[in-house]
Amino acid sequence: MPTPSTSHANVTVIDHPLVQHKLTIMRDKQTSTASFRRLLREISLLLCYEVTRNLELTTLEIETPLEAMQAPVLAGKKLVFASILRAGNGLLEGMLDLVPSARVAHVGLYRDHKTLEAIEYYFKAPDDMSNRLVIVVDPMLATANSATAAIEKLKERGATNLRFLCLLAAPEGIDAFTTAHPDVPVYTAAIDSHLNEKGYIVPGLGDAGDRMYGTK
């Protein structure tokens, strides 16, 4: 079972050994772009499994080759996965493999390198988000400016039931995010030491988008 963080309310650390092992390889600066992308996709399957662990079930009458039975199926409306571009797409793809019927929102944001403010450049989401669980994905929660802005926008468009899933979080980002959105649980594979003066997570893994796409 994932571990609730003892120091941060509403934060769950997904400490599954396979997640931790793959994350270590991703952190290593020697890891190639191709391996980084493959590992992120593999990890996304494991993270998706944990973030959906307590979804509600209902039953459906089916017939097996032997007899009729009431069998469990997911209850409620289809999920929405909201990817914070670009790096969120590295988590999104694997999650859609596990939940192919999910709806998808894209929130285009980049960090201004000087101010670290999130600048929006794109937004497209399903119309009816009010009765759906919306799982927002981005590998990195650093200052939390991006995640906070993305969730504000999704709430403005009607989302009420949200979760935030990332790979790495800084303690500063968790504090800022849980203050801004105390109703949104955070799931992460690790909480690192701190942010450096440029707003990078330390020890971290560097710039997730650049490492995924080989842009630096």
Tell me the catalytic residues: 111, 115, 207, 210
Nearer to ligand PRP, 48 or 147 (CB): 147
Footprint of ligand URA (CB under 6 A) = 140, 142, 199-201, 204, 207-209
CB atoms within 10 A of CB 210: 14
Which of ligand PRP, ligand URA, none has residue 163 at its interface (CB below 5 to 8 Å by kind)? none
Q: How far is the CB of 155 from ligand PRP (least distance, A)?
A: 17
- State which H helix or E strand residue 44 sits in: helix 33-51
Nearer to ligand PRP, 58 or 193 (CB): 193
Footprint of ligand PRP (CB under 6 A) = 84-87, 109-111, 116, 118, 138-147, 173, 199, 207-209
Q: Which residue lies nearest ligand PRP, judged by its C-beta?
A: 209
* Alpha carbons 205 and 113: distance in angstroms, whole number: 17
Which of ligand PRP, ligand URA, none has residue 138 at its interface (CB below 5 to 8 Å by kind)? ligand PRP
Which of ligand PRP, ligand URA, none has residue 110 at its interface (CB below 5 to 8 Å by kind)? ligand PRP
* Alpha carbons 41 and 10: distance in angstroms, whole number: 25
Q: How far is the CB of 142 from ligand PRP (least distance, A)?
A: 3
* Alpha carbons 181 and 126: distance in angstroms, whole number: 21
User: CB of 188 within 8 A of CB of 140?
Assistant: no
Q: How far is the CB of 78 from ligand PRP (least distance, A)?
A: 25
Which of ligand URA, ligand PRP, none has residue 200 at its interface (CB below 5 to 8 Å by kind)? ligand URA
Partner residues linked to 73 by β-bridges: 58
- Which pair of structure tokens corresponds to residue 30? 């020697």
Q: How far is the CB of 86 from ligand PRP (least distance, A)?
A: 4
Candidates 101, 102, 84; CA nearest to 151 is 84
Q: How far is the CB of 18 from ligand PRP (least distance, A)?
A: 22
Nearer to ligand PRP, 52 or 143 (CB): 143
The residue with tokens 């790495």 is 168
Which of ligand PRP, ligand URA, none has residue 204 at its interface (CB below 5 to 8 Å by kind)? ligand URA
* Alpha carbons 173 and 178: distance in angstroms, whole number: 8
Nearer to ligand URA, 200 or 213 (CB): 200
- State which H helix or E strand residue 47 sits in: helix 33-51
User: CB of 19 within 8 A of CB of 187?
Assistant: no
* Alpha carbons 54 and 56: distance in angstroms, whole number: 6
